[in-house]
């Protein structure tokens, strides 16, 4: 097994021990504070973490404005994906909030910051991006059409599985860890963002 494979295997094990495989109770989803709240849906003036999201700005520009997406923004820049998420798209981004990144073991986060792990980090981030613009309603329709499961092809090339728990959309990674959509349908100039409560892990 390669060093990057061992690195990701250790991360998967650590996150599993941290309880990332639990399924949220319907129709609630766990927020970054740990409280169980209804999933936030789109509004006329959407905000993420109290910061206004401008529909005429790109995914990266809006993420950089949000105080709860600072870790994601830093990781995107570290991985060299700024041009991608500033490009025309359209993309659907499942955006882990800062609390989601805090669940990742510190040794793993420190490893991602190393130049040698840039490709690994890029793979993890691209696993959160699906080509095309998929609203929560689109995802729910795909899940229903698939008999309770929708398989999404990510920018990383691997599959991401979407299901429903009540009204909440649950994502299951190729490595088996789960994330719930806590805020849906935040429109962007080059796609749409759904905030999630865990970092999803592809197979390495």
User: Domain spans of the chain?
Assistant: 3-196
120-148: b (≥16 Cβ within 10 Å) or e: bbbbbbbbbbbeeebbbeebbeebeeeee
Lowest-pLDDT range, 26-30, 110-114, 116-120, 198-202? Answer: 26-30
Q: What is the pLDDT of residue 154?
A: 98
Supply the DSSP symbol for 116: G
Q: Which residues pair with residue 194 across a beta bridge?
A: 94
Checking if the pLDDT of 30 tops 90, the result is no
Q: Residue 111 in contact with residue 20, Cβ under 8 Å?
A: no
Q: What is the pLDDT of residue 7?
A: 41
Q: What are the residues whose beta carbons fall under 8 Å from the beta carbon of 63, sequence distance 6 or more?
A: 48, 69, 72, 73, 76, 85, 95, 193
Instruction: Tell the CATH topology of 3-196.
Output: FAS1 domain (2.30.180)
Identify the band that residue 80 occupies on the pLDDT scale cut at 50, 70 and 90: very high
Query: Which is nearest to 169 in space by CA: 153, 190, 154, 150?
Result: 150
Residue range 14-43: average pLDDT? 42
Q: What is the pLDDT of residue 67?
A: 97
Q: What is the pLDDT of residue 45?
A: 61
Higher pLDDT pick, 4 / 156:
156
Q: Please give the mean pLDDT across all residues of the chain.
A: 84
Residue 33: is it exposed, middle or buried by C-beta count within 10 angstroms (0-12/13-18/19+)? exposed
Q: Residue 103 in contact with residue 187, Cβ under 8 Å?
A: no
Query: Which is nearest to 131 in space by CA: 80, 101, 161, 94?
Result: 94
The encoded tokens of residue 4 equal 């990057």
Q: What does the pLDDT look like over 82-130, one tens digit per residue?
A: 999 999 999 999 999 999 999 999 988 888 888 888 999 999 999 999 9
The encoded tokens of residue 190 equal 């080059």
Checking if the pLDDT of 9 tops 80, the result is no
- The SS3 assignment for 69 reads coil
């Amino acid at each position: 097994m390669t060093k990057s494979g061992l690195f990701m295997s250790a991360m998967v094990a650590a996150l599993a021990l941290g309880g990332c495989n639990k399924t949220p109770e319907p129709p609630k989803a766990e927020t970054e504070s740990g409280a169980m709240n209804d999933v936030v849906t789109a509004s006329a003036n959407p905000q993420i973490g109290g910061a206004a999201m401008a529909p005429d700005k790109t995914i990266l520009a809006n993420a950089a404005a949000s105080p709860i997406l600072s870790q994601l923004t830093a990781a995107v820049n570290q991985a060299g994906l700024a041009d991608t998420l500033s490009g025309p798209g359209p993309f659907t981004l499942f955006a882990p909030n800062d609390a989601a990144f805090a669940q990742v073991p510190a040794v793993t986060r420190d490893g991602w910051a190393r130049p040698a792990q840039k490709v690994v980090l890029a793979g993890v981030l691209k696993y959160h991006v699906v080509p095309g613009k998929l609203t929560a309603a689109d995802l729910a329709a795909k899940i229903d059409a698939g008999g309770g499961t929708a398989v999404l092809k990510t920018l990383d090339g691997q599959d991401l599985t979407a299901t429903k728990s009540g009204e909440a959309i649950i994502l299951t990674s190729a490595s088996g860890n789960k994330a719930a959509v806590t805020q849906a349908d935040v429109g962007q100039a080059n796609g749409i963002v759904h905030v999630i409560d865990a970092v999803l892990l592809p197979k390495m």
